[in-house]
């Protein structure tokens, strides 16, 4: 884009108005947003910036979002405080302390600074000179932006200012939880029981009866808001979910989606949250959407996709000698095992000497069909079972001479899998959780909480994860004080999660920008000899 | 302890405010004393400051570290011994990064890249080492992608491994800060095995790094 206008003559509003006409329509979401989030100029060319001594930045790595985050509220990294750049934090009048500012608290905010003007802000972005005339931190690059591009960016920063957030009122925080129609009805009730009771407890302890405390100019008090849970129960085919979700959100805006339960696919929900920029926190799903560039949904783990990667890792590590080796995968075509099988096939496809045969069973296939599918594995082959407990219980004889059997722990029921006795000696299970002995103390806490509140444990891991999701949300909101900004909620979880000591079924949880899966690994386990449910790790924790 | 009953945090917030009120009272009492100081400071703020290249605050110290005997995984997927990698006879420049880091690491890596280019042909004889502090996320393919983003030449290796191995390495060089978001920029130089390390805390520039490197290896 060439703007052949004497833009430098123009100032303030005139410039902004012109930028709005010239630049904004060129990029979906606005020219300023494209610069800020993606490092892309309205022409489609990459954003350019420089640091001292000829160090140049270009495109995505130069984008403001890397440091100032999508919320524009900045972050703290080590001793480095990245200040908020959302407009109200730049243009506020000078104040003696942060408490004099009528702005939601964020860690890097500065009160005792002259307000930026459009001109001094442009100078800061181009030349790295702050409102007070001093050089900015070495981390801040100097950007090559022409006047129109600068105006678009500044207009965007002004838009970023925290304002009214849908789902947040003076007295209520609205949350939704989402259940897909194909989610397991028993587990669904288990999840709902945990959520309902957590919200009840939360509200019981907020001093709803006492006079509400309000923020004032001099004193910053946290307003105790009532938490309200809305259950979004989807119906029908996945193609129709998006419209249903939009209708739910329209009828009752929510601040975030918490937990929930999926079945064969979560994809429409994931994309809905991404499109609406609605935080979707730790849904219980076997098959998440594996795109770490997406921002709004964070998962506990990569589910069955992680299991596929764990099995691929184990097969590589086993080093079965020169191939060809044959691997037979059995799954129901309508279940999440199909995607897991595809992931394992892709992972082994990069290896020499592996031949993978997939046997997809129809949704309604009989046990006879299941047994003949399993019998596709011959002597020396590796057999992988992506099957639910009902199918696992109905397995026939172990194929003669089969080299090894792997099964999905998440799908097959983990320690409680009904795997027939004859299979136990030769079967390894992908186990993307901490070992039972290690997690006892961790899981005792939610189990005690369930017991005291008489919540039946019907799906222990899913319910423990639900409780953990609630605790993470609650802790994060407490740290956010009253800065209710959806992006900021996700960012604070990304930054704080690693500090958690109680992490439920997982040995450790950690996120960061561009990370969507909090637990990164798992074990491959086998069954202890002599029967019983006890599983034993084949080796160390694997992060494939 | 991060697990809390939902009610206890409310108390914590109020406590913060109570502290704040106390602090305000103390501040009021100290007002007479502090006014002069505050005024002096704000006067300084309004001084017309000529824009100048900011001199980053870097502190350098000479420290003896014991290189821990841990196994790391290099960006090419090979398992390697850290002492073996470090003691190949070349001078070593070491830092700690993670690939999804937004602010600190990209600058540190850019500085290392620029430093390597400034060395020119000599870069073959200097071993640049970057160890991930987020090894569970930073797989070898991710490290390769990250390295190429910063134009890493042949003498620059990136390492991952188990969480324990990475933390042992971080502890040995006193850069472990409990979690990756609390990390601080540190660059370590050593002229040869057995020699002390030069520890640079803060953001060094490529030229500063080159100067320290020349000084260290020249004095060998």
Q: Enumerate the residues of chain B whose CB falls inside 8 A of the CB of residue A502.
A: 2-3
**Distance between CA atoms of A225 and A213, rounded to whole angstroms?**
10
Burial label for B4, CB within 10 Å (0-12, 13-18, 19+), is middle
Which residue of chain A has the CA closest to B186? A78
Question: What is residue A313's predicted lDDT score, i.e. its pLDDT?
Answer: 94
Rounded percentage of chain B residues whose pLDDT exceeds 70: 74
Question: What is residue A529's predicted lDDT score, i.e. its pLDDT?
Answer: 86
Residue with more model confidence, B65 or A98 = B65
Q: Enumerate the residues of chain B whose CB falls inside 8 A of the CB of residue A57.
A: 110
**Distance between CA atoms of A228 and A417, rounded to whole angstroms?**
36
**For A97-201, where are the E strands, in sequence order?**
142-144, 172-179
Question: What is residue A364's predicted lDDT score, i.e. its pLDDT?
Answer: 85
CB contact under 8 A, B134 and A82: no
CB count within 10 Å of CB A478 equals: 16
Strands A48-51 and A55-58: antiparallel
DSSP A415: G
Chain A / chain B CB contacts < 8 angstroms: 149
Q: Which two tokens stand for residue A521?
A: 């690994």
Please, are residues B198 and B94 in contact by the beta-carbon 8 Å criterion?
A: no
Which residue of chain B has the CA closest to A223? B10
> What is the distance in angstroms between the Cα of B210 and the nearest Cα belonging to chain A?
12
From the list A406, A14, A92, the residue with the least C-alpha distance to A83 is A92
Burial label for A390, CB within 10 Å (0-12, 13-18, 19+), is exposed
- pLDDT tens, position by position, B146-195: 999 999 999 999 999 999 999 999 999 999 988 888 889 999 999 999 99
Cis peptide preceding B61, ω within 30 of 0 = no
Q: Which two tokens stand for residue B102?
A: 């937004």
Question: What is residue B6's predicted lDDT score, i.e. its pLDDT?
Answer: 36
Question: What is residue A163's predicted lDDT score, i.e. its pLDDT?
Answer: 85
CB count within 10 Å of CB B63 equals: 12
What are the φ/ψ torsions at residue B140 (nearest 5 degrees)?
Answer: -50, -45
Cα–Cα distance list, A89 to A72, A115, A160, B26 (Å): 9, 9, 10, 28
Q: Name the CATH topology of B59-217.
A: Glutaredoxin (3.40.30)
From the list A205, A217, A180, A156, the residue with the least C-alpha distance to A31 is A156
CB contact under 8 A, B17 and A219: yes
- pLDDT tens, position by position, A403-414: 999 999 999 999
Rounded percentage of chain B residues whose pLDDT exceeds 90: 67
HSE on the CB side for B157, CA within 13 Å? 19
> CA B120, B126, B127 angle in degrees (round to 5)?
130
Which residue of chain A has the CA closest to B111? A55
Confidence (pTM): 0.86
> What is the distance in angstroms between the Cα of A71 and the nearest Cα belonging to chain B?
14
SS3 B7: coil
> What is the distance in angstroms between the Cα of A237 and the nearest Cα belonging to chain B?
35
Domain positions in chain B are 1-56, 59-217
Please, are residues B188 and B94 in contact by the beta-carbon 8 Å criterion?
A: yes
From the list A205, A260, A261, A195, the residue with the least C-alpha distance to A228 is A195
Task: Give strand pairing partners of A75.
Answer: A82
Residue among B9, B54, B177 minimizing CB distance to A78: B177
**Distance between CA atoms of A504 and A497, rounded to whole angstroms?**
13
**For chain B, where are the E strands, in sequence order?**
59-63, 71-74, 79-81, 92-97, 127-132, 156-160, 186-190, 197-201
Q: Enumerate the residues of chain B whose CB falls inside 8 A of the CB of residue A541.
A: 162
What are the φ/ψ torsions at residue B95 (nearest 5 degrees)?
Answer: -145, 175
Question: What is residue A223's predicted lDDT score, i.e. its pLDDT?
Answer: 60
SS3 A427: strand
CB contact under 8 A, B181 and A76: yes
Residue with more model confidence, A217 or B44 = A217
From the list A303, A289, A267, the residue with the least C-alpha distance to A182 is A267
Question: What is residue A320's predicted lDDT score, i.e. its pLDDT?
Answer: 67
Q: Distance between the two ends of chain A, CA-based, in angstroms?
A: 45
- pLDDT tens, position by position, A198-225: 999 999 866 555 444 444 444 445 567 8
Q: Enumerate the residues of chain B whose CB falls inside 8 A of the CB of residue A507.
A: none
**C-alpha torsion sign, points B43, B46, B48, B54:** positive
**Distance between CA atoms of A372 and A360, rounded to whole angstroms?**
12
CB contact under 8 A, B103 and A133: no
Which regions of chain A are under pLDDT 50?
1-28, 210-220
Q: Enumerate the residues of chain A whose CB falls inside 8 A of the CB of residue B180.
A: 498, 510, 512
Q: Enumerate the residues of chain B whose CB falls inside 8 A of the CB of residue A495.
A: 181
**Distance between CA atoms of B28 and A128, rounded to whole angstroms?**
37
CB contact under 8 A, B102 and A75: yes
Q: Which of B100, B103, B140, B174 to mutate to test the interface with A (most CBs of A within 10 A)?
A: B103
**Distance between CA atoms of B128 and B115, rounded to whole angstroms?**
10
Q: Enumerate the residues of chain A whose CB falls inside 8 A of the CB of residue B178.
A: 499
> What is the distance in angstroms between the Cα of B194 and the nearest Cα belonging to chain A?
30
């Amino acid at each position: 884009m060439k703007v052949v206008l004497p833009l430098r003559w123009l100032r303030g509003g005139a410039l902004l108005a012109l930028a709005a006409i010239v630049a904004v329509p060129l990029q979906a979401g606005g020219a300023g947003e494209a610069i800020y989030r993606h490092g892309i100029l309205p022409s489609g060319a990459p954003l350019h910036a420089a640091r001292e001594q000829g160090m140049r930045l270009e495109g995505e790595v130069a984008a403001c979002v890397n440091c100032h985050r999508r919320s524009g509220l900045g972050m703290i990294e080590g001793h480095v405080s990245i200040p908020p750049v959302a407009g109200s934090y730049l243009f506020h009048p000078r104040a003696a302390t942060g408490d004099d500012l009528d702005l939601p608290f964020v860690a890097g905010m500065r009160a005792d600074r002259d307000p930026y003007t459009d001109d001094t802000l442009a100078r800061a972005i181009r030349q790295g000179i702050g409102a007070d005339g001093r050089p900015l931190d070495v981390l801040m690059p100097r950007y090559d932006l022409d006047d129109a591009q600068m105006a678009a960016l500044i207009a965007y920063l002004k838009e970023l200012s925290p304002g009214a957030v849908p789902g947040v009122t003076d007295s209520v925080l609205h949350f939704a939880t989402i259940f897909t129609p194909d989610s397991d009805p028993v587990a669904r009730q288990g999840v709902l029981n945990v959520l309902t009771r957590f919200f009840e407890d939360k509200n019981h302890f907020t001093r709803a009866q006492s006079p509400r405390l309000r923020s004032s100019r001099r004193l910053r008090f946290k307003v105790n808001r009532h938490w309200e849970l809305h259950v979004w129960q989807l119906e029908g085919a996945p193609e129709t979910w998006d419209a249903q979700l939009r209708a739910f959100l329209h009828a009752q805006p929510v601040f975030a989606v918490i937990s929930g339960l999926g079945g064969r696919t979560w994809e429409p929900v994931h994309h809905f949250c991404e499109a609406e920029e609605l935080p979707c926190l730790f849904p219980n799903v076997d098959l998440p959407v594996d795109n770490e560039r997406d921002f709004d949904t964070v998962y506990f783990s990569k589910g069955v996709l992680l299991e596929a990667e764990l099995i691929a890792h184990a097969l590589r590590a086993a080093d079965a000698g020169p191939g060809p080796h044959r691997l037979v995968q059995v799954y129901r075509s309508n279940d999440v095992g199909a995607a897991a099988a595809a992931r394992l096939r892709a992972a082994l496809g990069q290896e020499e000497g592996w031949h993978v045969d997939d046997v997809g069973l129809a949704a309604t296939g009989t046990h006879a069909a299941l047994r003949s599918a399993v019998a596709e594995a011959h002597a020396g082959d590796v057999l992988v079972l992506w099957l639910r407990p009902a199918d696992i219980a109905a397995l026939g004889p172990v194929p003669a001479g089969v080299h090894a059997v792997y099964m999905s722990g998440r799908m097959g029921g983990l320690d409680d899998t009904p795997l027939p006795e004859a299979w136990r000696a030769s079967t390894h299970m992908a186990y993307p959780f901490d070992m039972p002995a290690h997690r006892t103390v961790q899981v005792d806490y939610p189990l005690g909480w369930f017991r005291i509140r008489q919540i039946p444990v019907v799906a222990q891991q899913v319910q423990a994860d639900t409780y953990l999701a609630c605790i993470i949300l609650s802790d994060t909101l407490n740290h956010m004080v009253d800065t209710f900004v959806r992006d900021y909620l996700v960012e604070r979880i990304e930054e704080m999660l690693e500090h958690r000591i109680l992490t439920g079924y997982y040995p450790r949880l950690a996120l960061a920008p561009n990370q969507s899966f909090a637990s990164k690994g798992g074990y491959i386990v086998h069954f202890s000899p002599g029967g019983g449910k006890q599983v034993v790790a084949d080796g160390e924790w694997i992060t494939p | 302890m991060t697990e809390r009953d939902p009610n206890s945090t409310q108390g914590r917030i109020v406590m913060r405010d109570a502290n704040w009120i106390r602090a305000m009272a103390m501040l009021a009492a100290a007002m007479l004393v502090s006014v002069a100081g505050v005024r002096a400071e704000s006067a300084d703020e309004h001084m017309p400051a000529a824009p100048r290249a900011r001199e980053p605050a870097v502190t350098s110290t000479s420290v003896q570290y014991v290189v821990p005997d841990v196994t790391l995984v290099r960006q090419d997927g090979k398992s390697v011994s850290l002492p073996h990698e470090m003691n190949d006879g070349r001078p070593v420049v070491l830092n700690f990064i993670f690939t999804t880091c937004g602010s600190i690491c990209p600058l540190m890596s850019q500085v290392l890249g620029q430093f390597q280019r400034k060395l020119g042909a000599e870069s073959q004889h200097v071993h640049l080492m970057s160890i991930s502090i987020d090894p569970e996320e930073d797989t070898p393919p991710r490290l390769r992608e990250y390295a190429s983003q910063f134009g890493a030449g042949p003498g620059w290796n990136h390492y991952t491994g188990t969480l324990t191995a990475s933390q042992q390495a971080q502890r040995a060089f006193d850069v472990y800060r409990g979690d990756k978001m609390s990390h601080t920029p540190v660059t370590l130089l050593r002229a040869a095995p057995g020699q002390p390390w030069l520890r640079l805390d803060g953001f060094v520039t490529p030229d500063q790094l080159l100067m320290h490197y020349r000084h260290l290896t020249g004095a060998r």
